[in-house]
Structure 1
Amino acid sequence: MFAVNRGLKRSIYHVLMLLAAGALIASPVMAQISTVDPNDVIDSDLGTPPPAATAAPAQEVAPTVQDGVPTDAPATLPETSTASPAISTEATYQEDDLIGAAEGVFGKSAQGLGKLIENILKKEGRPNGYIVGREVGGAFLVGLRYGSGTLNHKVEGQKPVYWTGPSIGPDAGANGGSTFVLVYNLYDTEDIYERYPGGEGIAYLGGGFNASYLRRGDVVLIPIRVGTGIRLGANTGYMRFSKKQRWLPF
C-alpha cells in the first residue's frame, strides 16, 4: 500500500511539473495575442476610406422678392419672333408728295393732272421713285426723242438721267415740254440705265398731256408728258436711259 501510494504520488508530481512547464511556455505567447476585427484588416488592405457621414438635406430658402419679382430667379430669354417684318411705307412716295412734285414741274395750271396721278396710284400703288425733266421729240412714221432730268429715289436719293428713244408707227408731228415719270420696283438705281420698251398714243393740238406705260422685268415706268406742239398718232418704241447725254437714239 505504501509502495502504491508512493508510486501514485510520484506520478502526480510528474504531471504537475509538466503542467507548470506548459504554463510557463504558453504565457509569453498569450501575452502577444490581441483581438483584431477581420473587417478592419480587409479595409486597410484595400485602402477603402471609412464611409462618409450622410449629409443632411439642404433647407429650402425662399427667393428674395423685390417689387413683386424674384431677384434670384433665372433670367428669361426673349422669345424669337418668326413673323415676317412688315413692309415699311417709308420706302415709297405718298400721293401728296407726288402731286406736289408734278405741280412743281408742270405748274398748277395743268388741269386734270392731279386726278390723273390719283387714278394711276389707285391702280398701280405708290412708286419708290420718280423722274422730273424735259424732252423734245418728233416723228413722221419714225420718231426720235431726247430728254434729261433727275431721278428721285426714296432710298438712294437723286441721280442725273438722260434718255433717248426711237419709235415707229402712224405718228406725225413735233412736241416738247416737261416730263414726269413714276418709277415702280426700282430697288437699285443702277437698274434705271437700261432700255424700257413700251407704246403710247399722242394727241397734241397746241398743247396737252398724255401718259404711257413702259416695263423691263419688274421695273415699271409711267411717263406723264405735258407740253406744246402739234402731234397726232400712236407708236411703239423704247426709252433708253444713260448716265451721260447721248446723241445716237438707239
Structure 2
Amino acid sequence: MSRIAPTLSLVLFMWLPAAFAEEVKPQDQPVNQEGYTAEEIYSVAENFFGGTTEGLAKVIERVFAEQGRPVAYIVGEEASGAIGVGLRYGRGDLTYNDGASMPVFWQGPSIGWDFGGNASKVMTLVYKLRNTQDLFQRYPGVEGSLYFVAGVGVNYQKSGEITLAPIRTGVGLRAGANVGYLHYTRKESWLPF
C-alpha cells in the first residue's frame, strides 16, 4: 500500500497541471504583406457564399478599388439585433495566404436609429495587419444597413493602421444606421464590451 500512494501522487502531480492548463493559443506570427488578388477573393467568396451575385462582385470590386489587396480574410457567421441599442456576435476563421488559419470571435454594442434583427454570413477583408496579435482589439465603425430578406452590405472598421472590411449577406429585417464597435477576440465571450 505504501508503494501505491507515492505512485498515485506522482500520476496526479503529472496529470493535474495538464488537466487544468489553459488552452494553447495559436502562435502569433508576422503577416505576409503580399496579399490576395481580386481573383483569389472572388473564388473564396464564391465557395463561402455559395456563388457570387452581381451585387457581391460589385462590393468586392469597390473594396479592392478603395483599399487594395487584403493580407488576410475572415469567413464566418454572425447574428445581431437592435431596438435603438444593438448587439452583434460572430465567429469565424482568420486565414492567411500561406494557408494558416485560426478561430476568431467578435462581439460589440451599437447605438443609433436602428431596428430589427438579422443573421449573416460574413467575409471580412483584413488590411495592414502586421502581426496576428494586433487583430485582437476593438474596431469602431459607423454602419448604415438595410436588410430585406436578403442583401449585401459592407462597412469599414479601422483601428490604427489596420482596416477591416466586413462584407455581409444575410436574412432578416433590419433598417437604420448606428455607431458602435466590434471587439475581436481569441475566445468566445457573451459580454459585448
TM bracket, shorter-chain basis: 0.7 to 0.9
1:16-35 mapped onto 2 (5 Å cutoff): none
Contact 2:45 2:52 in 1 (8 A): no
Structure showing greater radius of gyration is 1
Q: Which residue of 2 aligns with 1:148?
A: 91
- Counterpart CA distance in 1 for 2:177 and 2:129 is 27
Q: Does 1:163 align with 2:106?
A: yes
1:215, CA displacement in angstroms?
0.3
Q: Which residue of structure 2 aligns with residue 11 of structure 1?
A: none
* Runs of at least 5 residues in structure 2 that lack an aligned partner in the other structure: 1-31
Return the offset for 1:120: 1.3
Q: Which residue of 1 aligns with 2:6?
A: none
Does the aligned pair in 2 maintain the 1:91–1:155 contact within 8 Å? no
Deviation readout 1:76-109 (Å, 9 max, x if unpaired)? xxxxxxxxxxxxx972101111011111221215
Shift of 1:148: 0.2
In 2, Cα distance between the equivalents of 1:90 and 1:163? 24
Specify whether residues 228 and 136 from structure 1 end up closer, same or farther in structure 2 by C-alpha distance, changes over 3 A only: same
**In 2, Cα distance between the equivalents of 1:110 and 1:248?**
35
SS at match of 2:51: coil
Q: Pairwise mapping of residues 1-250 of structure 1 onto structure 2 (< 5 A)?
A: 91-108=34-51, 110-154=53-97, 157-250=100-193
Q: CA RMSD in A?
A: 1.5
Aligned AA for 1:244? K
Q: Is the 8 A contact 1:156 1:189 kept in 2?
A: no
Aligned residue pairs total 162
Q: Which amino acid aligns with 2:80?
A: G
Structure 1 CA distance, aligned partners of 2:130 and 2:99?
9
Report the AA paired with residue 178 of structure 1.
K
Q: TM-score with structure 2 length normalisation?
A: 0.80
Partner residue of 1:50?
A: none
Moved over 3 A (4+): none
Runs (5+) with no aligned partner, structure 1: 1-88
Task: Indicate if the aligned counterparts of 2:42 and 2:52 stay in contact, CA closer than 8 A.
Answer: no
* Richer in strand (by share): 2
Deviations 1:200-235 (A, max 9, x none): 101011111110110000000010110000000000
Residue 118 (structure 1) shift: 1.2
Q: Which amino acid aligns with 2:70?
A: P
**Separation in structure 1 between the aligned mates of residue 55 and residue 153 of structure 2, nearest angstrom:** 11
Identify the residue that residue 27 of structure 2 maps to in structure 1: none
Q: CA 1:125–1:170 in structure 2 vs 1: closer, same or farther (change >3 Å)?
A: same
In structure 2, C-alpha distance between the alignment counterparts of 1:111 and 1:145, rounded to whole Å: 27
Distance 1:191 1:90 in 2: 14
SS in 2 for 1:165: strand
**In structure 1, distance between residues paired with 2:69 and 2:115:** 34
Q: Bigger relative contact order, structure 1 or 2, given CA contacts below 8 A and separation 6+? A: 2
Q: Deviations 1:97-150 (Å, cap 9, x if unpaired)?
A: 101111122121534211211121122110101100000000000000000000
